[in-house]
Amino acid sequence: IDFKIITNNGNHERMKMLIDLKNIFARQLPKMPKEYIVRLVFDRNHESMCIVKDDTKVIGGICYRKYPTQRFAEIAFLAITANLQVKGYGTRLMNKFKEHIQKQDVEYLLTYADNYAIGYFRKQGFYQEIKMNPDRWKGFIKDYDGGTLMECYVHPSIDYGN
C-alpha cells in the first residue's frame, strides 16, 4: 500500500481518488451531511492523505486543513473502508500523517472525534485536554456539537515513521 497526498488540482486520476475517498467518508460517517463532506474534501484549503492499494484503489484516508501561521492542523474526516477496519490501517495512516505534517512544521493536531472514535484517537495520542492556547486556535476552527474536541502534540523530533 501507498500513502498519497491529494489536493483538488484538476488532475483526472487524483480527482477520481478524491471521489472514492469522499464516498468512504459518506458511508462511514453517516451523521455528516454528504454535501458538507463533498465541500471540504474538494475545498482548496483542505488536503487528503489517501491509503491506496494496488496503485489506484483507495481504502481509506484522512482529510485535513493546515493553519500554517498557527502551526496546527484540523482533521476534518478520517475513515477506513468497512471490510478493512480494525486491521491496523487506521494506525498506519495516522503515523504517516504525523510524519508528513511534522515536516510541514505543524505542532498540534485538533479534531472533533465522534464518540465511538474517541478510543481510536486516544490510542493515537490524542487527549481531551487542550494544551494549545485558545488564542491560537479559537475562531480558526468551527465549533461542532456532534463530537469531542481532542488534541495531539506532534513532537518535532519523534520518528513517527516507525
Give catalytic status of residue 99 as yes or no: no
CB of 80 to ligand ACO, least distance (A): 4
| Residue whose C-beta lies closest to ligand ACO | 90
**Residue 127 identity (one-letter amino acid):** Y
Query: With respect to ligand ACO, which residue has the nearer C-beta, 89 or 137?
Result: 89
Query: With respect to ligand ACO, which residue has the nearer C-beta, 119 or 156?
Result: 119
Q: Return the C-alpha cell found at 85.
A: 477496519
How far is the C-alpha of 18 from the C-alpha of 10, rounded, in Å?
A: 11
48 touches 6 (CB < 8 A): yes
Q: Return the C-alpha cell found at 38.
A: 463533498
Catalytic residue among 35, 47, 74, 99: 74
Query: With respect to ligand ACO, which residue has the nearer C-beta, 102 or 109?
Result: 109
CB of 2 to ligand ACO, least distance (A): 16
How far is the C-alpha of 159 from the C-alpha of 7, rounded, in Å?
A: 25
Where do contacts with ligand ACO occur on this chain (CB under 6 A)? 28-29, 75, 77-80, 85-91, 111-114, 116-117, 119-120, 123
Which residues 6+ apart lie within 8 Å of 101 measured at CB?
A: 64, 66, 73, 109, 154
CB of 104 to ligand ACO, least distance (A): 19
Q: What amino acid positions are annotated as catalytic residues?
A: 74
